[in-house]
Amino acid sequence: KEAQCRAEIDTILGYCFLQDAVEAYLDAIKIYPNPNAYYNLANLYKDFEKYEDAIQYYKCSIELEADNEAYCNMGVCYYNLEDDIHALECFQKAVRLNPNDSISYRNMGNALYNLKEYEEAQKYYRWAFLWLILELNNSLSGNLKYGI
């Protein structure tokens, strides 16, 4: 119960400071338009489920610098708006930029599943699983190498 109350307080405080954070990013963008500022502003909107606003700023970020994570997050926004076709397009672009990204493959599977493309979805779920295993293996190998 205590954890739930703390989470609710954090959410309320987040909403209180949302406008201040938005204004800070917009001021930064006016001074120096850059992909990171647009991307962070988009993430802020996404976190508060303002998906249309988030999409607008992900697009600004991508115009300045194509980025796997920006495409993936923009796809998540479309997905949450139940626009699986645009979500799928974003996930495909994310995979083109980073073919080793298990999350983008999984998200492609989710969008395809919603579009009732079950066999195609299953293919991307398998790719996601494969890349996740490889990521885990690489992580463990690195940790063993350094004694962690």
Say if residues 82 and 95 touch (Cβ distance below 8 Å).
no
- Cβ burial 111-140 (10 Å sphere, 16+ → b, else e): bbbbeebeebbeebbebbeebeeeeeeeee
> Vertex 87, ends 83 and 103: CA angle to 5°?
140
pLDDT, tens digit, 9 for 90 and up, residues 49-104: 999 999 999 999 999 999 999 999 999 999 999 999 999 999 999 999 999 899 99
pLDDT band at 24; cut points 50, 70, 90:
confident
